[in-house]
Amino acid sequence: MDDIQNITQGMHELKFGEMAGSFPQEIIQEILIRLPVKSLIKCTCVCKTWKSMIINPSFIRTHVSPAVQFVNQNDIHLLLHRVSGLQMTTFFGQTVMYKVNDEVLSVHYDNQAFDHYSKIEFPIATQGKKHNSYIRVVGICDGLFCLADDMFRYCYNFFIWNSAIRKLVTIPWPNVRFDTHAGYDASIGFGFDATTNNYKVVRVVTLLDQRGTPTLAEVYSLATGTWTSLGCVSPTCLTDGRASSVFFNGVLHWPVFYKTNGDLYYFILTFHLGKVVFRKMPMPKIIKWKFDFGMQLSVSDNDVEQPVGLE
């Protein structure tokens, strides 16, 4: 019986190989391009031709393109971030979080039942002196996670993580640090530069201990593995390291503010990864809080939504 199964299995494999070879490469590519990442990883083991096709940069860019994602919109997933064991402190009259004992990242289907898909295991050990107990997600782009541990102290440990193949890239320390520029507040963004086919991390840093509190910017390139300084940011602004960034259509967005006559005024700072240009996007005039520790941006229906302040 086992011999019969082995023979028939070999026949099926032979027929599959012959069938795969008989299809035009364009048809095979159209089929593969619609598969999820985990299935594509398995397909790289089918034959050398398929592996060469799947790891080709052109195929990868097509696979993560909006057109293909629209076809696969019924397979949309949501990332749920849950923390527990919070330790709080008071800062400027506001209760803020300064330590997390445990955190869980899980992926769920975007359906009415919010079904569980998988749990994401961090590839970084947080129990110890090397990293904080809280690793935050800076941004997600094409399935790549940008991670940072800069929440509760001056730390410079940043990572880019491909959860599908479990590959982690440790980003070198940035140029602007406490030991080089003294006190600062920094916001970080992560996105893809289509003009150079490159993923980038952008760091916008307000120098708190320098006259005029200038804001500097620097960019990390995944392709070169190096940081590049962009100098002072224009328009003039102050950053809030607790505010999240949003990447949309090649542009990063941060909620920032500036001071005038004792008041704070908020606007959205944008940065085009390809053109390397900062611009100012106005906010509703009603947003004029003096101390906001939870201003968030989000993307809905292919448009950047106005930020919402959270207590």
Residue-level pLDDT at 105: 63
Give the Cα separation of 106 and 86 in Å (integer): 19
Residue 232, pLDDT above cutoff 90: yes
Contacts 24+ apart (CB under 8 A), 56-60: 57/197, 59/29, 59/32, 59/33
Reported as a pLDDT band with limits 50, 70 and 90, residue 301 is: low
Task: Express each pLDDT in 177-197 by its tens digit.
Answer: 988 988 888 999 999 998 998
Residue-level pLDDT at 26: 81
Reported as a pLDDT band with limits 50, 70 and 90, residue 308 is: very low
Q: Is the pTM of this model over 0.85?
A: no
Residue 15, pLDDT above cutoff 80: no
Cβ contact 143:64 at 8 Å: yes
Residue 248, pLDDT above cutoff 80: yes
Radius of gyration of the chain (CA): 23
Reported as a pLDDT band with limits 50, 70 and 90, residue 2 is: very low
Give the Cα separation of 304 and 308 in Å (integer): 12
Choice among 40-49, 82-91, 148-157, 263-272 with the minimum mean pLDDT: 82-91
Percent of the chain with pLDDT over 70: 61
Choice among 24-28, 29-33, 87-91 with the minimum mean pLDDT: 87-91
Distance of CA 28 to CAs 60, 109, 146, 258, Å?
15, 28, 32, 54
Choice among 71-75, 190-194, 218-222, 306-310 with the minimum mean pLDDT: 306-310
Percent of the chain with pLDDT over 90: 21
Residue-level pLDDT at 18: 56
Reported as a pLDDT band with limits 50, 70 and 90, residue 10 is: very low
Task: Express each pLDDT in 109-139 by its tens digit.
Answer: 666 665 655 666 666 654 444 555 567 788 8
Q: Mean pLDDT across the stretch 11-27?
A: 60
Reported as a pLDDT band with limits 50, 70 and 90, residue 257 is: confident
Q: Mean pLDDT across the stretch 55-76?
A: 63
3-state secondary structure 117-135: EEEECCCCCCCCCCCCCCC
When mean pLDDT is compared over 72-76, 123-127, 248-252, the highest value belongs to 248-252
